[in-house]
Structure formats: structure tokens, C-alpha cells
Amino acid sequence: MDGSLPNLENAVSKKPEVFFAKHMQPGTCGYDSETVLVDTEAMKAMIKTGVGIPIYVHHQNVDYSTMKEKAVGYVTESFYNEADGWAWFKCLMVDDEGFNAVAKGWHVSNAYVPTEWGPAGTKNNVPYDREVLNGTFTHLAIVPDPRYEDAVIVSPSDFSAYQDLKKRELHNSKTEPAKGTQMFKLFKNKKEEVTQIDGDTIVELEGGKEVTVAEMLNALTSAKKADDEKTNAKPVDGDALVECNGEKIPVKELVSRFEKLNAKSKKNEDDKKEEDDCKMNEDDEDKEKDEKKNKKNDGEEDEDEEGKEKKNDRNHFEELRNAHLIEAAPSVIIDTPMAQVKRGQERYGKQA
């Protein structure tokens, strides 16, 4: 070494750092001389041209021969963010001037050269002079007054937090019920307007049931505690001894006996149920048989009476029909004393 000091003109106080820059969103944008429209498809077509462009403090003409001296950083990644619909740059900051501008809370402003134009028109009731259909990014500037109001440059941790927030908002917008379809109401004890939710806030659920926020929190806390206790419970040693009916047996033997007892009890219950079902079926069958028998007996008695009547009718008819064939029964003569005297007089004559 010659002992001379190194050139400190371009030295920085710390190593390069990564930042994320939200720099462009679809829509109309006002310039000094005109208003142009850059819609989503055009912006997405331009995004791929952003990788490698220099970052300056304030807008500057890009001169690659002096870029190394003037650039405070470079774009290492260019992407479309689905979470918010913006175009983003991932940046590597390499110079103190850039670090200081970021520390002041300055914003970002991109620069591009349109390569394809469309005609004038109106977007969301905002007239524009012409439409950018495609273009190429040239550089990114860190400025105090950006063209897009929400264009910012943030640290990786802030970008990660921002992404989480946007994803939750996107998720909630898809899962929350539409306006006017909320399934619960919030009110205080006297049903005054709720300005702050606390434990006493009453929630009227679907169906009219009312419950306080504290009650719901306690229920969920108790349920979680029970789940945690169940999850964290230590297994019992199966060989550990317990006393059962005066004898010491292993826990696994206790479990086995208990399961057998349960199985036996269940079998007895099933057998009893089956026996009761069979008895009920037999009773029903006996009852049905008795009903049929009674019904049959009633029918037979009716038939017997009817048969007797029909038989008597037939016999009487036969007697009347064959009456001329029946021999007359012999007459019975009664011999009275007067008749005897009369017969003697006729035979022997009257005595003088």
C-alpha cells in the first residue's frame, strides 16, 4: 500500500437495503399539459420493463454513462400486486441520499415513455386526452410531491404488514354478509346506540336470542381451555396398579374388564330388547289368531242357525209335497158303557 487514503466521495454509511415502492395504479392521471388514461391491461404490459431501472432523488434525465454516480438505487423486481391492484417495485437502495429521502417520508414517482397511444375518452366520468396502451419505464424518482397520492416507499416489514392487512380486507369482503343481511344486532342494556363494544354489550343473535360479549368470550375461553387440557393430558401408564374389589390390578386390565362389562351389559340390553320385541310380536300374533277364531266361531254359529232353519223348511215342504202318499193313522175307538148296552140290545133284543 502507498499509504494514501481511499476516495470517500461516493462512500455510504451503511450497506444497501431493500425497500418496496407502490408507484402506479390504473386510471386517469394528470400531467401539466394533459390528462391520460393508463388502464389495468396497459399497466400490466409495462410492468415487465421496470426491472433494472435506476432510482434517483427527484426526476432526472437518464444517462447511462453517469447513472452510477447519480443513482441512489436500482429496481430489482417489478410486479402487479393482486392485493391492492397497484404496480410495485422492489428496490435496492445503495446511497445515503436515498436513505435520507426515505427517512424524510418522501414518496415515489415513476417515469415512462409511452410506445402506443389510444384515442381520447371518458373513464368514471373523468375525461382524458388520450390513452396509453403500452410503454417502457425509464426510472423511479423519490420526491416530496408524487403524481399518485398514495405512492409510497416502505421497508420490507411494513410491506409484509400491509399485505396481510389487504389480504384480510379482501377475505372479509368476500365472507361478510351483504349490507342489510347482518345476522345479529348490538345494543346496550337499554338498547341505546353502541359506540364502543365491551363485555356488557348485548348481541341479539338470529332467532332473537340475546347474549353478552363477555358470556361469549367466557364460553370460547372455557372451550379452548378444555381442548388444551385434553391435548396436553399425559397418557396413563397401562401397567400402573389400581385397587378393584380388594385386589390390585393394572390399569390396562381395568380397561379390559370395563369394556367386557360394557359389552355384556349392551348384549343383555340387546337380548332383552329382542326378547321384548319377540314377545310383542307373539302377543300380536295370538291376538290376531283369537280375533280370527272368534270371527270364525261367530260365522259358524250363524251358519248353524241358518242351516237348521233351512233344514226345517225343507222337511215341512217335503211333508206337504208328499202328503197324499202318507197312510192314514188307525182310528182309536173308545168303548163306552152306553155303546156296550146298545150293542147288546141290537144283538139280543130289548128285554120286556
What's the CA gap between 207 and 192, in Å, rounded? 20
Give the dihedral sign, CA 267/268/270/275. positive
* pLDDT of 349: 67
CB atoms within 10 A of CB 297: 10
* pLDDT of 133: 96
Cell digits for 43? 399497466
For the chain, 352 residues long, give each residue's pLDDT as a single digit of tens.
Answer: 444 443 444 557 889 999 999 999 999 988 888 999 999 999 999 999 999 999 999 999 999 888 989 999 999 999 999 999 999 999 999 999 999 999 999 999 999 999 999 999 999 889 999 999 999 999 999 999 888 888 999 999 999 999 999 988 877 766 555 554 454 555 555 555 566 677 777 777 766 778 787 888 888 888 877 777 666 666 666 777 777 787 888 877 877 888 888 887 777 777 777 777 776 766 676 677 777 666 666 655 555 666 666 666 666 556 555 555 555 445 445 556 666 667 776 766 665 5
Distances (CA, A) of 138 to 5, 70, 72, 97, 336: 36, 14, 15, 20, 171
Residue 124 backbone phi and psi in degrees, to 5: 50, 45
Contacts of 84 (CB under 8 A, 6+ apart): 22, 166
Evaluate whether 71 touches 52 at the Cβ level (below 8 Å): no
Written as one string, the DSSP assignment of 104-153 is TT-EEEEEEEEEEEE--EEETTEEESEEEEEEEEEEEEEESS-SSTT-EE
* pLDDT of 297: 63
Give alpha helix (H) positions in the chain: 40-47, 67-70, 96-103, 156-175, 213-232, 251-321, 337-348
pTM, 2 dp = 0.48
Cell digits for 200? 356488557
CATH topology of domain 17-167: Serine Protease, Human Cytomegalovirus Protease; Chain A (3.20.16)
